[in-house]
């Protein structure tokens, strides 16, 4: 399918800075601001869950699974980026990753129109945060933040609150940068049993993200947001 591309291309590019304390973004007059995922990493409940899993399966197996999940997630993101933009793949993806992305393409064909941003860098002086959004486009007729996710297992809504908070931050950043309101959050998950779609509202999750942003600042011993 050929998508209608109305891409926003006039935002400055940010430098991505990877450190032992997380990922940051900066350029002249902007930041350095922590990435959205760096801020979300202070969520202790998520950290505790991951550590319990690592303790249960062992470090070697945990590292193996995490590495494979990272490879799969990156590959599927590249596939979907190329598909939405209608461009040829820069590298040849593995057949298993092509199959994983198949259902996500079907969601895209059915629901996505008026593409405004693909793998776009965003930041907010209000939230003091930055990041790279997967996709901003109309989803079933309403402008939305759209996030591609992969998983070994089907997700339950109460397991992925961090996804919704992440997307709510992107929605605020996008509106701050462009003046275009985005209130819908769409998470599309490819797992070994099939595909899932979660649709949420920005205002149900942005306060939770702000709380984590302030917690992050307290742990870094820097002033909190006003």
Q: Does 7 reside within a domain?
A: no
Using the 8-state DSSP alphabet, how is residue 93 labeled?
-
| 10 within domain boundaries | no
Domain residue limits at 173: 15-220
Q: How many residues does the chain have?
A: 226
Does 5 map to a domain?
no
51 φ/ψ sector (left φ>0, alpha ψ -120 to 50, else beta): alpha
pLDDT at 174: 98
Closest CA to 212 of 70, 24, 35: 35
Pairing between β-strand 22-27 and β-strand 30-34 as defined by DSSP bridges = antiparallel
Ramachandran assignment for 194, one of left (phi > 0), alpha (psi -120 to 50 degrees), beta (any other)? left
- Give strand pairing partners of 115: 5, 137
Decide if 39 is inside a domain: yes
Can you give the CATH number for the domain in which 34 is found? 3.90.320
φ, ψ dihedrals at 58, nearest 5°: 95, 150
Give ∠ CA 160-164-170 in degrees, rounded to 5: 140
In a domain, 2, yes or no: no
Tell me the two tokens of residue 142.
């309403």
The total number of structural domains that make up the chain: 1
Centre a 10 Å sphere on the Cβ of residue 106 and count the other Cβ atoms it contains: 12
In a domain, 225, yes or no: no
Confidence at residue 61, expressed as pLDDT on a 0 to 100 scale:
64
Alpha-carbon distance of 66 to 113, in angstroms, equals 33
Tell whether 175 is covered by a domain.
yes
pLDDT tens series, the chain, 226 aa? 899 999 999 999 999 999 988 999 999 889 899 999 999 999 877 666 666 656 776 777 656 656 676 788 789 999 999 999 999 987 788 898 999 999 999 999 999 999 999 999 999 999 999 999 999 999 999 999 999 999 988 999 999 999 999 999 999 999 999 999 999 999 999 988 899 999 999 999 999 999 999 999 988 855 444 4
pLDDT, residue 1, reads: 87
Structure pTM?
Answer: 0.90
In 17-149, which residue ranges form alpha helices assigned H by DSSP? 36-40, 44-57, 59-85, 95-111
């Amino acid at each position: 399918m050929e998508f209608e591309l109305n891409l926003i291309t006039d935002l400055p590019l940010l430098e991505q800075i990877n450190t032992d304390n997380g990922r940051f973004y900066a350029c002249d007059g902007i930041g350095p601001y922590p990435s959205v995922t760096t801020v979300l990493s202070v969520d202790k409940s998520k950290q505790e869950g991951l550590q319990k899993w690592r303790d249960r399966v062992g470090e070697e197996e945990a590292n193996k699974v995490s590495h494979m999940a990272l490879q799969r997630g990156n590959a599927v993101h590249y596939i979907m980026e190329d598909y939405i933009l209608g461009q040829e793949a820069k590298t040849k993806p593995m057949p298993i990753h092509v199959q994983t992305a198949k259902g996500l393409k079907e969601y895209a064909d059915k629901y996505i129109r008026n593409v405004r941003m693909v793998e776009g860098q965003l930041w907010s002086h209000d939230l003091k945060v930055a990041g790279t959004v997967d996709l901003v486009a109309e989803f079933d007729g309403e402008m939305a933040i759209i996030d591609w996710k992969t998983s070994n297992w089907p997700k339950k809504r109460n397991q992925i609150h961090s996804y919704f908070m992440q997307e709510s931050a992107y929605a605020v950043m996008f509106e701050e940068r462009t003046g275009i309101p985005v209130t819908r959050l769409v998470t599309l998950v490819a797992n070994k049993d099939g595909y899932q779609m979660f649709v949420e509202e920005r205002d149900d999750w942005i306060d939770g993200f702000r709380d984590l942003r302030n917690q992050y600042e307290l742990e870094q011993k820097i002033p909190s947001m006003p």
